[in-house]
Each structure stands twice: as structure tokens, then as C-alpha cells.
Structure 1
């Protein structure tokens, strides 16, 4: 990736745009939906280009590979190199600080924000048997699971959605929806925790035993939202996709995720840190409220903070986004001011 060098935009004579995507079924589903919407708004055709990431090749815990941001790096490189014009990310997987030369030009309507428990016997978290084995690749989910149920055994897992679901007793046939390795484990866990939005987008909501309350498990910043990223010059009005991107951008999703990402950015925390952050806009009152929870990796201690700001209806959109960013920074400042060492430990690890 060429540092801060601004990449060239699309030429005026082009009649289609190229959309970069990872090769997983979930990525293809999310990317295709966004590409169809942008094509409809702009009147241009599109072509999908599969970009392989380091995270798709390497094995081992994501937290040891730089977190889920590892999946975004290859797509961003493809934007800089001109191999694609649009990249569609799960917003929770993007590093909190924007990259010079690129623009998150649209955040469409947000999907389900809650984490989903998929368990043997469709048991909720509170009814899982003592010592139950629960799989997740997320330090945040692990920490909050242990905070709620310290008796659970949390197992680190990798793989696509079907592969993870197949680890649950009674759900082994879920592997048929994935490209699972023949020797991959099946039926060795009591439950797994996945993003509810991903399961719903894939039509696998029948596997959801419980959408975990955000009072029990605060989602990752950006969870349930997509980020449509382009070269900054291609987000300008009058460009091939500029107006389409502006139409595709959803106000509520934009201000909520702006607050959440500003929280992470101020804390200088990676997207794999055991930090939950959820902002919700009450469209009736115009109040945007952000809550954040920091958990020790073993769930032994937690720290939380919350604040709200009123979105002025007549204010320009840019002012509302700026107010959302200030809210995220303010909640981060609360956490930093009240830190007893937990936050510093979590960010360092």
C-alpha cells in the first residue's frame, strides 16, 4: 500500500465499476448486495473481483495476526492499486482510524447488532450446562461470556460460518454450507457465538438459539454495519459513483458507527480488543446514546461508560457526524479517567 499517496480515480469513459470482495460466502453475499444497490443508484454495471487476504491463508488465532483488520488490508491494497474501485467490509473488521486517500463513502442501513448464540438443544447462555464448551474467535465475546458465566470453557475457533456452526453438537450438517476441510472438527462443542447479522444475511437464522441481550454482551463497534470504501476522489459529487454512494449512505447507521469508531480511535484500541461499544439513535427524539464496556480477558473485571448527545434536526449532516465523533471521544475520555489499570492492560494485550 502506498502510504498517503492519493490513488487515481475512475476514468470518465468507464461503463462499469469493479467491486473487490473476499471469497467467503458471507463476504460474497454482503458485497453482491452492496454492488447491486450502487448499480441501481448509478445506472452503471459492475464486476466482482475476488481478493485473497492474509487472513484467508494463515491459521491460528486472529488476535495474534493483528485482529480482524487483517482481512481489510488486502481489499484496501486493491483499491490503491486500482484492481478494484469499491471494497465492501464488515465495518467491525476495519481499523478505527481512516486511511488517507480512501473514504468510507457509504454505511448502508444497519442490520442486527447483537451477537448470536447457536447451541446444542437451543439453550440460551444462562441455561448452558456448567463447564459447557463454547467456541468463539473473538476476545471481546470470550471476555463477556466469562463475565456472565465464569464456569464456561471458551474455545478459540476459526473458519467460515458453516465450519463454526458444524462444531456444535447436533449441527454438524451445517458444514455442508461451507468449504470445510475434510478433517475439520465437528460436533465437539456445546455452542458457538457468531454475529447475528451474518447468520441472517446467509439465511441461517434458524441456527440462532438466542440473540444475546446487549446488557449481557455489548457488540463490537460497527457490528451489523457494512462499510463501502472507495478511493477518496471517487466519492466526490459528479464522479461515476459519488451520487450513488451518497444515496446509499444511511444517516442513523452513519452517526452510530461514527461514534463507535471514534471511541476505539481515542482509546487507540484495535478491532480485536475486548471492548464493546454500541451507539443507538432514537429517531423520535434525535438522541444518540453510546455505551461501552471493557472486560478483562478472563471476564474477572469490567469497566463501563455511557453518554448521549442530541442530534439537531436542522443541523447539516456533517455537523451531526462531527457531534457523533465527539460523543465517541467523550465516552473514551470517561473510560480513560476512571481506568484502574484494566484498560491499559486490555489495549496492551
Structure 2
């Protein structure tokens, strides 16, 4: 369901976004995809969120929703037509009056090490300083290299990379997707494989959020045309399964939890791990399910719930703070 420019005379979609360089880059990608597929013009409207202005650590802020609430308020107030979120930052509970209208194709979901002198994690010297603001990444680093000094950091991608180039730190851990979206992939010295280093649920995926009434409109509209052009069913199923693990565990996006799903043909495979903050212990489970096109959402959520229940039965809540 796409509309040609002739069918949408003068249509301009207002897209709300955080004002960071990464948010503007990924929202710009979304805007270009909409125009290329539908001919509909777009305009980006930056919104400042609390997470963008505070210097407190992400863990201390609670993580979940710290980047989303201002965008959601802006959308509900009618100041824009849709907003673009990094899906890993989005609370698992739906916001009243809003809905995820589209999930575009996912970027690389892996984490990456960006180290001095081209070093890998195994090659870093004993006691090397490694920066990250993620409790999950801290636990994963400690599990692999308990000798490292882990430093809690904040700031945008260039700020974090600057800690390495200045010599203040030996390495930082960042998401591959963000580095690639900003053209900073040359800084990567190692990409961590997903089976051994599961990322944050929905990492690399974007969520296009709209007002529920606009999504439910009976007639064809520019908003619905844009959403149809962006939607990638496999990415939505994978992200739904990963986020269902978080929801079932009642965990925030700052909890030490990694999850990754892959939809291959009609089989959805899901792996998730809960880490002790020290990295000394973990609980992990893998599950798979057959998925049909008409019931992918229910199957994905059901798989995530099943896996989360297995984690809880295995004592995941006893080794890590989940909320």
C-alpha cells in the first residue's frame, strides 16, 4: 500500500527524532526510504530528551524510556506525525494512544570493541581500561576478562571513541549499528559474535511509532503509506521475541540481559542470557518455534515468554537485578 506523489499532493510527513548525531543519521535514513518508496516529502523535527542532556550514567537513570518519553509526548501532542526510536531504548509496555507502526530492516546487531593499536579483547593487556555504560556489557567483559578495569562512561559515539584516541582508555564497547550509521566502522577492532556475546534485545532495530488512531485509519493516508514501505516482517518478529523476554522478566533495558533471535524461512530461533553483574555466573536458554506469516507476532511473543520462564526456572532472578 504505497501512494504516488500525485495521490498525495503537498503531503509532508513530520518525523520526530532525538537531536543526537546518531539519531539524526538513522532518522535521515528512514526519511529517505519513505521518499524513495512513496514520493512523500519529509521533514525532521529534533526533540531534546532527558537522556540527551544529563551526564548521569544510563544505569542510574533507569535506562528504560529515558530517551523515549519526550518523543512520545511530542507525538501525542500532534507536533509530528511519527517518531523514530532505537528499539532497544523503547520500553516493552505500549504507550497509551500510540503504536509501533513499522519496524524497518535491522542493521548489524553485534557489539564491537574499538581499541587502541587494533587490539582485540584477548590482546588487551592486563589491567587495560575499557569503557562502557551498559551493565550487560560490563558483565560480559568481566566474564571474558576479569582482569580489566571497566569504566562507566556516557556520551555520544564520537565522545566515547575520543576516550580511546586521547589515551584515557584502552578501548570502548559500542554497537556496530551505531558505528556504521555514522560512518565510524573503521574504529572497530573486533566484532563480537552473537552466540557468545548476545546484544541488548532489539539492538540494531528501529521502531517507527505513530498515534494509534492514525494507524487504524480506514482510508489510505501518507502515514500508512510510509509505514507500509518501511515494514520488515522478519525484523519485527525477531525484535518482538527478544523484547518479550525482557517483558516477561519485568526487566529494564539497563538490566544485564542479552537476547538475539533469527528468523530463517519459517523457524524463529531465540537465544538469551542473564548475567551476574560480576560476570561470574550466567543463565542462558535457547528455544525455537515455527512461525506462520499470519501469526508471527503471537508466535514471537510466545517464544520469548517461554524462554524467559525457562530462565526464571533456572534461577536467573537470583543472580542478577532484573528491574
CA contact (8 A) 1:277 1:292 kept: yes
2:185 matched to which residue of 1?
A: 205
1:239 matched to which residue of 2?
A: 221
CA contact (8 A) 1:293 1:303 kept: yes
Q: Pick from 17, 27, 33 the counterpart of residue 31 of structure 1.
A: 27
CA contact (8 A) 2:274 2:316 kept: no
Q: Pick from 274, 282, 289 the counterpart of residue 294 of structure 1.
A: 274
CA distance in 1, matches of 2:156, 2:145: 26
2:94 matched to which residue of 1?
A: 98
Inter-CA distance 138–340: structure 2 relative to 1 (3 Å threshold)? closer
1:26 Cα deviation after fit:
0.8
CA contact (8 A) 1:63 1:272 kept: yes
DSSP-derived class of the 1:328 partner: helix
- Is residue 324 from structure 1 mapped to residue 320 from structure 2 by the alignment? no
1:181 matched to which residue of 2?
A: none
Inter-CA distance 14–73: structure 2 relative to 1 (3 Å threshold)? farther
Q: Pick from 257, 264, 267 the counterpart of residue 275 of structure 1.
A: 257
1:5 matched to which residue of 2?
A: none
Question: What are the equivalent positions in structure 2 for 1:73-92 lying under 5 Å apart?
Answer: 73-92=69-88
1:22 matched to which residue of 2?
A: 18
CA distance in 1, matches of 2:18, 2:318: 35
2:309 matched to which residue of 1?
A: 333
- Is residue 346 from structure 1 mapped to residue 321 from structure 2 by the alignment? yes
Q: Pick from 159, 166, 171 the counterpart of residue 163 of structure 1.
A: 159
DSSP-derived class of the 1:125 partner: coil
Inter-CA distance 66–324: structure 2 relative to 1 (3 Å threshold)? same
1:244 Cα deviation after fit:
2.5
1:255 Cα deviation after fit:
0.5
1:139 matched to which residue of 2?
A: 135
1:183 matched to which residue of 2?
A: none
CA distance in 2, matches of 1:246, 1:100: 22
CA contact (8 A) 1:234 1:240 kept: no
CA contact (8 A) 1:148 1:216 kept: no
1:117 Cα deviation after fit:
0.2
1:112 matched to which residue of 2?
A: 108
Q: Pick from 231, 239, 242 the counterpart of residue 260 of structure 1.
A: 242
CA distance in 2, matches of 1:74, 1:187: 35
1:304 matched to which residue of 2?
A: 284
- Is residue 248 from structure 1 mapped to residue 223 from structure 2 by the alignment? no
CA contact (8 A) 2:113 2:174 kept: yes
Q: Pick from 146, 158, 166 the counterpart of residue 150 of structure 1.
A: 146
CA distance in 2, matches of 1:250, 1:214: 21
DSSP-derived class of the 2:71 partner: helix
For structure 1, list consecutive stretches of 5 or more residues without a partner in the other structure: 1-11, 172-185
1:87 Cα deviation after fit:
0.7
CA distance in 2, matches of 1:251, 1:196: 22
1:15 Cα deviation after fit:
2.2
Aligned length: 314
- Is residue 49 from structure 1 mapped to residue 45 from structure 2 by the alignment? yes
CA contact (8 A) 1:144 1:216 kept: no
CA RMSD of aligned residues (A): 1.6
CA distance in 2, matches of 1:35, 1:234: 18
- Is residue 190 from structure 1 mapped to residue 170 from structure 2 by the alignment? yes
